[in-house]
Amino acid sequence: MKFRLDGRNAVVTGAATGIGLAIAAVLCDAGAKVTIVDLNEEAAKTAAAGLRDADAVGCNVADQAEVDRVFAGLGRVDILVNNAGIAGIGTVATTTAEDFDRVFSVNVKSVYNCSRAVVEKMAAQGGGVILNMASIAGSSGLADRFSYSMSKGAVLAMTYSIARDYLSQKVRCNAISPARVHTGFVDGYLAKNYPGREAEMFEKLAAAQPIGRMAEPEEVANLALYLCSDEAGFVTGADYPLDGGFFKLHG
């Protein structure tokens, strides 16, 4: 059977909910033993309890010392999915220094911290996979997303750098760049900012993708499974847009 991960140990960050949880579930179903790493340890444990073969650990992935301590206790890691991230709204003029630093810390430093914690071990054990969650915001101009776009552009740059530096050690590193994905975050954002107009604004956001809808978390997870599997053994240093035609068909 293809796309099997039997005997592999995977770590997915920010996986208590949303896209990360969908990825953790798909990797589990493919036979991997998954560790959910999330700032909210209680939510992570609840999520892990609903999966086939998963553990959970609380960790602030923006804190290098904490990442080093937590990852040292995980043992062998064959697959790392850097999914943890937060949103950032505003232009260069309206983004505060505090907001900029917060987005950078979570979205950029977490990828550095977690990748740094596993990559040499992967190289020593004969290879591994690092998969980073980027965004179309990292390679296109989206209005009012200055800090978020900055962070995802950095994620792409780190992806290419890791892939190049560890080619000979058989550590593959790729990225997925989704357009809008329908998660609980989207519903919460609409409820907070557009009370009473949630359905109307949801349709507007969905229509921004030429395909006419948002992606579902499971669709991102299915692509993640491919990139983490041996069937993608010839793929490294790649950014996969999961964008409903945004780049090629927009307008």
* Active-site residue set: 148
The CA distance from 144 to 91, in Å, is: 5
Cβ neighbors of 7 (< 8 A, separation 6 or more) are 31
Report the distance separating Cα 64 and Cα 183, nearest Å. Answer: 28
In the chain, the amino acid numbered 160 is Y
How far is residue 81's CA from residue 77's CA, in Å, rounded to a whole number?
11
DSSP of 83-124: -------B-TTT--HHHHHHHIIIIIIHHHHHHHHHHHHHHH
Strand order in the sheet with 9-13: 54-58, 33-38, 9-13, 79-82, 128-133, 171-178, 239-242
3-state DSSP call for residue 30?
coil
Backbone angles phi, psi at 90, to 5 degrees: 140, 165
Residue with tokens 């499974």: 225
Residue 105 one-letter amino acid: S
Token pair 């915001």 in the structure block, residue = 137
